[in-house]
Amino acid sequence: MSKLSLTGRSLLLLAMFACWGLAQAEVTADALKQQIQERSEKINEFRALLNDPDQTVRLAALDVMLKSDDIAMRELAYGVGFNSADEAMRAVCLNNKIAGQQMISIKISEISSPSDTQKKALESWGGVYTFDLKSFDEKTGQFTTRGSYRNGTGQLNGTRIEFTQPLCSGAFKLTDGAVLEGELGCKSNWSGTFEGQIRLQ
């Protein structure tokens, strides 16, 4: 067999593989498109359930989606739930979100004329008061906190969260979206009140 004929056969084989590869790409693209369409329909079905007129249906769908392993489903549930006019849905979202938090960060709002102790506190915190969540009971809403001078206890009631620590205590309520607003009150070298926000998303 001549060198030329071998080269010709090689080119023929390469062309065949190229055509086969294109065919496989087309099949894969079609299959992917079908999967995307099916997934889109499924997501739209769940979205409709989250907006169902019956609250029991909305809460059931929310519960299923928040416990799903599907990240897109969970984020959709949080997005709809936190922005819902239904306080029960917002409370369920907050409970689930707090359960997954390892740390709470309170962004302190600007103080126009801070006292010396407030200045000292803000400098110490860097403008953000943080503490770790040591434990959280999803059924009772009770939790414990830890950190430097921040070991304490707290309680989640619906869309309101409160905590007490040796030097500071706070009370925050869910407002628009996944944002809680409230006030932190401290004593000793950090004496003063501090308004702030907890952003969960």
> Per residue in 90-124, pLDDT tens?
999 999 999 999 999 999 999 999 999 999 999 99
Average pLDDT score over residue span 165-183: 96
Please tell me the predicted confidence (pLDDT) of residue 4.
Answer: 46
> Per residue in 29-71, pLDDT tens?
777 778 878 778 888 888 898 999 999 999 999 999 999 888 9
Q: Among candidates 123, 125, 126, 130, which has minimal Cα distance to 145?
A: 130
Kindly report the length of the chain: 201
Q: Does the pLDDT of residue 7 top 80, yes or no?
A: no
Q: Does pTM surpass 0.75?
A: yes
Taking residue 61's Cβ as centre, other Cβ atoms within 10 Å add up to: 22
Please tell me the predicted confidence (pLDDT) of residue 8.
Answer: 54
Secondary structure in 3-state letters for 169-182:
EEEEEECCCCEEEE
Average pLDDT score over residue span 4-18: 52
